[in-house]
Amino acid sequence: GQQVMQIPQYQHVQEGEDFTTYCNSSTTLSNIQWYKQRPGGHPVFLIQLVKSGEVKKQKRLTFQFGEAKKNSSLHITATQTTDVGTYFCAGRSGNFNKFYFGSGTKLNVKP
Amino acid sequence: DSGVTQTPKHLITATGQRVTLRCSPRSGDLSVYWYQQSLDQGLQFLIQYYNGEERAKGNILERFSAQQFPDLHSELNLSSLELGDSALYFCASSVAGTGGEEKLFFGSGTQLSVL
């Protein structure tokens, strides 16, 4: 069945260091979304990628969708303490009604 | 504030009991999704409703059921509760039911503790 794997599970960085989380699907995705969940909060939509090889930027965040539309990454440049939280990818394929969430990467940023 | 309202925020109950979680979607949103998040875990998709009808089912146990009412609010019923059902239950809503850029707007969740 559809699976979306996300690594790493945890990442501890020093403020100012870069951070990357990766998402891999067992099947081709029609699109992929990224969400951020702050500690004690709820997931909040960040971005959606649709096209093969698509790259989108939001300030220090760079999102990529692989050429085969099976993988995606989120890269944060020069992390800040406000980046702390869990980042989830959510892939959709075939049946458009289901979002398959990755297990999330929990980012901790030490000041 | 996402505009999605979930009640109650916290629920403490005993094994074997039955509880109902409620979700009011954002104004205008027709789709409601239910997710379960266990401690430090990912989001497990349970079920989706669109305009009152069940649209998709995930890993939802037979002891769990849900429905969406004509006013579009949704309820998730959990019965014969077990210790392992303790989790944060999120409801999310969206405008679209299929395809397109369908952002999910999450509520603040209901923290269920089964003792």
pLDDT tens, residue by residue, B71-114:
999 999 999 999 999 999 999 998 765 556 788 999 999 999 99
Show the low-confidence residues of chain A (pLDDT under 70): 1-2, 94-97
- The pLDDT-based confidence of B2 (bands split at 50, 70, 90) is confident
Whether residue B48 and residue A45 make contact (CB cut-off 8 A), yes or no, is no
Q: What is the pLDDT of residue A98?
A: 74
Both structure tokens of A35 = 């969400």
pLDDT of residue A3: 79
DSSP string spanning B70-112?
Answer: TTS-EEEEE-S--GGG-EEEEEEEES-SSSS----EE---EEE
CA distance B4 to chain A (A): 11
Most B CBs within 10 Å, among A42, A86, A88, A103, to test the B interface:
A42
| Residues ≥6 apart with Cβ < 8 Å to B1 | none
How many contacts (CB atoms, under 8 Å) link A and B? 60
Q: Can you give the pLDDT at residue A2? A: 59
CA pair distance A83, B102, nearest whole angstrom: 24
Could A90 and B104 be called an inter-chain contact, meaning their C-beta atoms sit closer than 8 Å? yes
pLDDT computed for residue A95 by the predictor: 59
- Report the amino acid identity of residue A47: I
pLDDT at A93: 74
To the nearest whole angstrom, how far is the Cα of B34 from the nearest Cα of chain A? 11
Residue range B11-69, pLDDT digits in tens: 999 999 999 999 999 999 999 999 999 886 789 999 999 999 998 888 899 999 999 99
Eight-class DSSP state of A2: -
* pLDDT score of B1: 84
Say if A43 is an interface residue toward chain B (CB within 8 Å).
yes
pLDDT at B96: 67
Question: Which residues of chain B neighbour A46 with C-beta distances below 8 Å?
Answer: none
| Entry field: residues in chain A | 111
Q: How far is CA A76 from CA A19, A109, B82, in A?
A: 5, 12, 40
Residue A31 forms beta bridges with which residues?
A: A92
Give the closest-approach CA distance of B57 to chain A in angstroms.
8
CB contact under 8 A, B45 and A100: yes
User: How much is the pLDDT for B103?
Assistant: 87
Kindly list the residues from chain B whose CB atom is less than 8 angstroms away from the CB atom of residue A106: 40
Question: Can you give the pLDDT at residue A109?
Answer: 97
Chain B residues in contact with A101 (beta carbon < 8 A)? 35, 42-45
Task: Annotate A62-83 with DSSP letters as a single string.
Answer: EEEE-TTSSEEEEEESS--GGG
**Residue A81: what are its φ and ψ, rounded to 5°?**
-65, -25
